[in-house]
Amino acid sequence: MGALCLWLLLWAGQLGRAHPNNAWIEGALSYKLARAEALPSPKILIVAGSSAMFGIDSGALETAFGRPAVNLGVNAGLSLPVILASAEPVIEAGDLVLLPLEYSLYNRNEAVSASLVHWANSHPEALWALPLKRALGVIAQTSLRHLLEGYRGVPEGFTVNGDYGAHHLDLRGDQTGTARAQREPRHWRFLNSLNAETYGETARRGRFDGQTLRAFRDNVLARGACPIFLPAPLLYKPYYADSPIEANFYANLPAQIRRAGLKWVGKPEAAMYGTDDFFDTNYHLVDEARTRHTQRLIEWLDDQPFEQCRHYYQTAVPPGAGDVGKPLGE
């Protein structure tokens, strides 16, 4: 007990301190939020993880719908509560909020990522927003190395480089430098080493996070904006069709989201693409595929997405409690 108390004191002492592993996320998110704050409404805001940062052409959305757009996608590993909370301050009346969330984010029991461990230690408010089990998971997975790095803080002269960060974002917050010809051998090797995701299987052990999603919906609608949920791009694996559990997950997810009182457009299976369409992970499209995927989203959204979205929430039957606590994908 004494050792545990000492550990908790050591952990608590570094809460709120900057950590170098957060630097690229801090920079990218600050850049995107500043851009969103500077734009007049009505605008388009894309809220998700890095699949949106790599997978959506915000300029094409601007052209299609005649309003400025900002891509707020950064890192899905930060968790659903963090991603939604970071976007809320820049949502204003008339805004169209598009949510092509990565599939793990719909699961209230999603795994604790290294990104979440680093982020929640530096941003304790994110820790308190998590379900208790996941918050405890963050504490349990905080290593001694992280604690020491937290106390040390960001070294003087530290700069963000590499594949991710604000230095790789365009004016709208989309990732740059991701043409197929710019994909490096290391990226290709990693893509081909990836196994199929098991979102269907993990969903059976988890819970659909309707509570968090509905709270966000209510906040967005109260601001005079409107949220629409869409599929995220994903590297296709035959397993997604061959496994009854996985196939059922993707087939039933849209209906489950709608039963929760949320507007959904599109089909997850139609947003799955071959290996050559991805840049460096199974969620990050190359530019050429980004163009095609965004055009598909535009077709799903139809001619007047904001007006149709408002009509949906004004006339949809209020969701019951049947989805609360149900396994995701059922």
Mean pLDDT, the chain, integer: 92
Q: Which of 17-21, 261-265, 318-322 has the lowest mean pLDDT?
A: 318-322
Taking the CB of residue 16, how many other CB atoms lie within 10 A of it?
12
Fold of 12-315: Rossmann fold (3.40.50)
Mean pLDDT of 227-246: 98
Q: How confident is the model at residue 123 (pLDDT cuts 50, 70, 90)?
A: very high
Q: Check whether 39 has a pLDDT greater than 90.
A: yes
**Which three-class secondary structure state does DSSP give residue 228?**
strand
Give the start-to-end residue ranges of the domains of the chain. Answer: 12-315
Euclidean distance between CA atoms 47 and 220, whole angstroms: 12
Per residue in 286-300, pLDDT (tens digit) is 999 999 999 999 999
Q: Check whether 317 has a pLDDT greater than 60.
A: no
Q: Report pLDDT for 122.
A: 92
Q: Report pLDDT for 194.
A: 96
Q: What are phi and psi of 235, to 5 degrees?
A: -65, 120
Q: Report pLDDT for 321.
A: 40
Per residue in 170-217, pLDDT (tens digit) is 999 999 999 999 999 999 999 999 999 999 999 999 999 999 999 999
Per residue in 302-313, pLDDT (tens digit) is 999 999 999 999
SS3 of the chain: helix, strand, coil, percent, to 5: 55, 10, 35
What is the 3-state secondary structure of 239-301?
HHHHCHHHHHHHHHHHHHHHHCCCCECCCHHHHEECHHHECCCCCCECHHHHHHHHHHHHHHH
Q: In what order do the strands lie in the sheet with 44-46?
A: 69-71, 44-46, 96-99, 226-229
Diameter of the chain measured on Cα atoms: 63
Q: How confident is the model at residue 9 (pLDDT cuts 50, 70, 90)?
A: confident
Please give the C-alpha separations between residue 43 and each of 27, 61, 172, 174, 246, in angstroms, as whole numbers.
22, 10, 12, 16, 35
Mean pLDDT of 238-265: 96
Euclidean distance between CA atoms 235 and 284, whole angstroms: 9
Per residue in 130-169, pLDDT (tens digit) is 888 889 999 999 988 888 888 888 888 778 888 899 999 9
